A and B are shown apart, each in its own frame.
Chain A
């Protein structure tokens, strides 16, 4: 049963808010150690607030309740009552995770057994945080001698900002400006913009002494460490600057005295000292390891894409132009019908041709426009991965710096979604198998802190994503040994393998090089899953690894899957389409040039020996004697092979549609597409063909 529309909308929207929240918390994390930027804090606070409102509106009381507590904590943080430290960030991140889980449940997923206890622990942690930081012991504002009349009108938040400024020894100023009633709003924001680079506008108060009927006066409470003449010059002709407090001209003794009593003892945020590093919830606190075992998928909950209205306008324009083309074609067909068999003028044919070309162009525009709409930035999944990595790094006890770049690269929504799980596996591997423990690293003369990189960049029609670490690198001899032990390959088969091929053994199902199955990875599923997922996306995967220096996994992906370019080939009377993004080149060979290795046919392409597969044999079709084979060289993930066909018919843009439910399991066929004559043409599943290649001889022939 599909969830009701209202629920779907709620989930989509709440999900979006959560993503924003997660992103902002991540930024907050990056700013740790510094004072958080007030704008950012407000953004996080607003996100929590809107999540609360949204879920309450849709009757999601549990989510609303937790969001409410989250909001309390953020409010306290905004007001400086809570310290911006590890405990806080961990709690906030856990909050995002738990809220995501709860949202998943609200959208109809099964309840996760951990959710309720985690939410409970979190509520308590939030409550502790929100109330933990007691109010200021000594109010510095009392010391600066602020006019009580002014002070009473400040909100709590404004007062907090004032206090912060005073503590830092920043002088407070009153900037008075008188504006005409006609355009005071523009001029006020202009004044704000002028002041912003010089300091912080803490509050804007309408003045108690207005000028006259046609104007309005404002007092801007402004904190700035710049000298008075500089501020006065900046606002010259617009406003008058005067000191707000009696003592601001000599602020120096304040910072020295103030912070000490304000700084709460670090244990204030922890209930007991037995959990010195992590608060009592989340990963490491559940010794049974239930949570680590089943990491929830990072796919987003909502199947929606947010579209910039400009893109939709573009599409609408194109459709308008298409309508004009249709009208013209209609007119032309009218002419043809009225001619009643009489020869049509030459002009008519020319015009028809012109319209056809216009139609083609506009359809191209439409196609590109729709593809554009499907594109989303990778940051959506990168953010989630960063959050996960943060937690995993803590659990692992290793010291790792996680670098992310290229989040603005855009990919088809479908691909971005499918990518999250493979990238998660690769990152876990990098952390678990790649980066060494700090003492080992130091022993090898490396920096104790490891680096794991996640980097995306667009290369033409493809996107390359790199998951790299500066760890120990891969040991091909151990890989070989393990592969043989596990029966993944035979010893003889590995004898002739090059280093690259040996490394690629890790992609085989059931392979895992670590004897101890850790909580993070090494359950024997991982790289083969990564490869399967990537093949499904027509992606390539390559490993670059240097002993002692690190490992890089390079994922190359097409920008979109919706419409792909395909090579149309034929075998006998049958026609097939091969996705062009997995075709690396096309060669032609004479039958005499083929060689066999262990009775399997191979061909030589510029010195590289590749398996030679006849499509006719793969599908049990009739084989015709040929003078030359057309060989389509296919590259998928890390595999290459040559596929022999009888003829090449050309290239087409195709939309692959799945075969009806009952046939979806057909091996080697990804689906069907319709070509110009409306006939269904089968699209090859290159990934499955590659898989078959590696099976024993009997299974192939």
Chain B
């Protein structure tokens, strides 16, 4: 029986699992491990008016061209209406007023109302998925979470800003989706 165990062990032995030699080195590197190991997180960057915003890529469900948007009465100003995404009815938001980028919201009701680059970014959210209208999708940026700056206090209406990130000289405003949609 013991011989059989030995055989099994030898069969499953893998050199890279043998950490014996590293153990004595471990105390010295333990502190720097965290910094070394931090991988940049991916964010989807998009433009709203002149500013560039970003949301964690994990929160993005998909990006679609602007469909026909059906206005819904009796809702807040920043709700453009609902759109049909393959049979699912999802609300579409225009965040420009929320973010103080525009004073009077422009009512977008369909692809004819907006420039060609305009897209709807569908965000996953616990309260129900929702789309936000963006002027242009820039692409994916990688930001280190530890390097993010807290949002400067610019007044109550900027609650939707979760923080700021920099990469290659660009400033990305991180959007707090919950706050922006509420």
Contact = CB atoms under 8 A, between A and B. Distances in A.
Contact of B72 (A575, A674, A682): A682
A669 B70 CA distance: 12
Contacts of B42: none
A325 B127 CA distance: 41
A620 B74 contact: yes
A346 B154 CA distance: 70
A680 B68 contact: yes
A27 B128 CA distance: 47
Interface in B9-47: none
A664 B74 CA distance: 12
Contact of A662 (B70, B73, B88, B127): B127
B130 A674 contact: no
B105 interface: no
Given A671-B89, A672-B70, A660 B82 contact: yes
A681 B81 CA distance: 10
A578 B20 CA distance: 74
A663 B73 CA distance: 11
Given A660-B89, A662-B130, A663-B79, A680 B74 contact: no
B181 A662 contact: yes
Interface residues of A, number: 26
Contacts of A672: 70, 82, 84, 89
B75 interface: yes
Contact of B82 (A574, A575, A619, A680): A680
Contact of B127 (A661, A667, A669): A661
A662 to B, nearest CB: 5
Contacts of B74: 619-620, 666-669
B87 A666 contact: no
A566 to B, nearest CB: 15
B181 A682 contact: no
A678 interface: yes
Nearest to A674: B84
A618 B127 CA distance: 27
B83 interface: yes
A658 interface: yes
A662 B179 CA distance: 12
A89 interface: no
Contacts of B73: 618-621, 666, 668-669
A679 B68 contact: yes
A660 B79 contact: no
A359 interface: no
B91 interface: yes
B71 interface: yes
A547 interface: no
Contacts of A562: none
Interface in B123-141: 125, 127-130
A660 B68 contact: no
Contact of B91 (A659, A667, A668): A659
Nearest to A621: B73
A478 interface: no
B148 interface: no
A682 B83 CA distance: 10
A657 interface: yes
Contacts of B162: none
A501 B158 CA distance: 52
A672 B84 CA distance: 9
Contacts of B75: 663, 666
Given A664-B128, A672-B70, A680-B81, 13 more contacts: A574-B71, A575-B70, A618-B73, A620-B73, A658-B89, A662-B181, A669-B74, A671-B89, A672-B82, A674-B84, A680-B70, A680-B82, A682-B72
24 contacts: A618-B73, A620-B73, A658-B89, A659-B72, A659-B82, A660-B90, A660-B128, A660-B129, A661-B125, A661-B127, A662-B125, A662-B130, A663-B91, A664-B128, A666-B74, A672-B84, A672-B89, A674-B84, A674-B89, A678-B68, A679-B68, A680-B81, A680-B83, A682-B82
Interface of B: 68-75, 79, 81-84, 87-91, 125, 127-130, 181
Interface of A: 574-575, 618-621, 657-664, 666-669, 671-672, 674, 678-682
Nearest 10 A/B pairs, CB to CB? A661-B128, A619-B73, A672-B89, A660-B128, A680-B70, A680-B84, A660-B90, A660-B91, A663-B91, A657-B89
